[in-house]
Amino acid sequence: MTLEAVYDDANIAVLHVDRGNTGPLFVTFSDLAFHPVPGRFSADTVAEALGYSVIGIVAKSPAWYPAASLRAAAGSLGGLLQRDGARVLYGGSMGGYAALKFSRLFHATHVLAMCPQVTIDPATCPAFDRRFSRYWNEESGGELVTADDLSGRAYVFYDPFHPIDSWHATQIFALDPDAAEVRMPFTGHHTTSVLAGTGRVKRLLDCALSGRDAALRAEVAEMRRGHDLRARVLLEAALARHPHLCHRVLKGLKAKGGTLPFNERFWTWADPLLEAASS
């Protein structure tokens, strides 16, 4: 195994790990929360465990992948993007945006985009989405994804009850009617975290690469139902609608020792929410 830095500028760093096989080429894009560390990239432990050759693209700042940097990076990769086999682009939120926006540039055969944006341009986003407006300028990236940008079979994972992410997903499906819609109710903007982990990503990739969309959705439903982040989003929604009733029910559960998924980690963030609701 060799790790090679193949491109670097003020905006991004691109690393290539060649594992000398003919399996899928895994191309990952970091998200806003990823802190750049030399020699590391998003999902690197997953790629290592799966034995995939991988291109890791790391954003150095909260810039939504400026197109000029990505074009230069793609040019530096040469024949890597022309190799036989599948080329899977993977990312969440900011990384999900990049996986879609640059799918044609990177000759994608498959795209796994978790809660992606279609743009962060405040002139295009609805008024209720100003989450990332402070990162926008003409050179920062984040311009609108277009149909001409898209390539490969796209899987878009999102929470249909999250108004902002749902709006972005709707725009993406209008651009690519053949994209696979993977609904993840009550996961909020946490879809990447719910699906994280080597075993989970492998199950998703196996289904996507074999075209088993129904099986992929079934796998995602199982992962979602058993994850405590779903319990958190449900709790937040319940507290917003019925704070006093929710407080009474959960207080009673805690007094009895709690039941799964109301485990110790659940209570570390549930307790402050319940205290706020009862104050």
CATH number of 2-225: 3.40.50.1820
Total Cβ atoms within 10 A of residue 128:
9
Q: Write the DSSP string, 121-166.
A: -TTTS-TT--TTGGG--TTS--PPP-GGG--SEEEEEE-TTSHHHH
Is the separation of the CB atoms in 64 and 141 below 8 Å? yes
Predicted pLDDT at 253: 66
For residues 274 and 15, which has the higher predicted lDDT (pLDDT)? 15
At residue 96, does pLDDT exceed 80? yes
Percent of the chain residues past pLDDT 90, beyond the cut:
68
Is the separation of the CB atoms in 57 and 17 below 8 Å? no
Is the separation of the CB atoms in 152 and 168 below 8 Å? no
pLDDT per residue as tens digits for the range 2-38: 789 999 999 999 999 998 877 899 999 999 999 888 8
Q: Which residue type sits at 264?
A: E
Distance CA 75, CA 214 (A): 36
**Domain map (residue ranges) of the chain:** 2-225, 229-278
Q: Write the DSSP string, 212-275.
A: -HHHHHHHHHHHHHT-HHHHHHHHHHHHHH-HHHHHHHHHHHHHTT--TT--HHHHHHHHHHHH
pLDDT per residue as tens digits for the range 159-186: 999 999 999 999 999 999 999 999 999 9
At residue 258, does pLDDT exceed 60? no
Predicted pLDDT at 227: 80
